[in-house]
C-alpha cells in the first residue's frame, strides 16, 4: 500500500549530521517528522572489529510511496559508508496523526 506510514530508523555519528539530515528530509517533504534521540551507544561489527561508539538515532516518519526518494537522499547526504536505514510499517496509530504524516509527504 503506497500510503502505508513507515517508521524508519537511521543512526548518525553526531548532532550536526543528524540535524542536517533531519531538516533536509522534512524541508524536501520526504519525511513528515524526524525525532532525534541523542546519546545512544551502538556496538557493532565493522571491518572485522567490534566497535562501540556514541551516535544519534533518527526516527523518521514517512510513507511507503516516499521511501525510495527518502532513502536516496539519506544515502547521498549521510557521512557513513554504510548508513543504517530500517523501515517498519506502522500497523496502528492515531488516525489523525497518520493522516497528517501522509498529507505532509504527499508529493
What was the pLDDT predicted at 106?
82
Q: Which domain holds residue 93?
A: 5-105
Provide the pLDDT confidence category of residue 49 given band limits of 50, 70 and 90.
Answer: very high
CB neighbours of residue 55 within 10 Å: 21
**107 close to 25: Cβ distance less than 8 angstroms:** no
List, for residues 50-105, the tens digit of each pLDDT value: 999 999 999 999 999 999 999 999 999 999 999 999 999 999 999 999 999 999 99
Distant-in-sequence, close-in-space partners of 101: CB < 8 Å, separation ≥ 6: 5, 32, 33, 61, 62, 63
The tens digit of pLDDT for each residue in 38-48 reads 999 999 999 99
User: In the chain, how many domains are there?
Assistant: 1
Closest alpha carbon to 73 in 22, 36, 34, 32? 22
- CA neighbor of 74 nearest in space, from 27, 41, 30: 30
Q: Domain of 12: which CATH number? A: 3.30.70.120
Would you say residue 2 has pLDDT above 80?
Answer: no
Phi and psi at residue 30, to the nearest 5°: -95, -15
Amino acid at each position: 500500500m503506497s500510503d502505508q506510514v513507515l517508521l524508519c530508523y537511521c543512526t548518525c555519528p553526531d548532532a550536526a549530521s543528524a540535524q542536517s539530515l533531519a531538516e533536509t528530509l522534512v524541508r524536501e517533504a520526504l519525511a513528515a517528522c524526524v525525532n532525534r534521540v541523542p546519546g545512544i551507544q551502538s556496538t557493532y561489527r565493522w571491518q572485522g572489529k567490534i566497535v562501540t561508539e556514541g551516535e544519534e538515532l533518527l526516527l523518521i516518519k514517512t510513507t511507503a510511496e516516499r521511501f525510495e526518494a527518502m532513502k536516496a537522499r539519506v544515502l547521498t547526504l549521510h557521512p557513513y559508508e554504510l548508513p543504517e536505514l530500517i523501515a517498519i510499517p506502522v500497523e496502528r496509530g492515531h488516525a489523525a496523526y497518520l493522516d497528517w504524516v501522509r498529507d505532509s509527504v504527499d508529493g
